[in-house]
């Protein structure tokens, strides 16, 4: 959900998630930069549920005194964004 918002802002609302995100079962490969678009994008409902879950996990980690370490940007961006810069 957050990456979609970032790409929408960078592309001024013209980002097409269906051309970038994979379906839920392929997200591991997508995050490694191996594939785009396969059986995707995830449903809005699923993305919202994941966002809520991630916020709960982060909150609980903080309550337990754990400093969360979030994944960094791996440099893998939508082809649509690459084309918009040229």
Integer Cα distance of 37 and 18 in angstroms: 6
pLDDT of residue 62: 95
| pLDDT for the residue numbered 75 | 80
pTM: 0.71
Distance between CA atoms of residues 22 and 31, nearest Å: 9
Q: What is the pLDDT of residues 8-63, one digit of tens each?
A: 999 998 999 888 899 999 988 888 888 888 998 899 899 899 999 999 999 999 99
């Amino acid at each position: 959900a957050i990456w979609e918002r970032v790409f929408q802002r960078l592309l001024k609302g013209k980002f097409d998630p269906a051309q970038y995100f994979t379906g839920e079962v392929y997200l591991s490969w997508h995050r490694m930069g191996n594939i785009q678009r396969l059986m995707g994008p995830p449903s809005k409902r699923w993305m919202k549920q994941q966002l809520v879950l991630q916020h709960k996990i982060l909150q609980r980690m903080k309550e337990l005194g754990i400093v969360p370490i979030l994944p960094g940007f791996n440099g893998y961006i939508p082809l649509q964004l690459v084309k918009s810069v040229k």
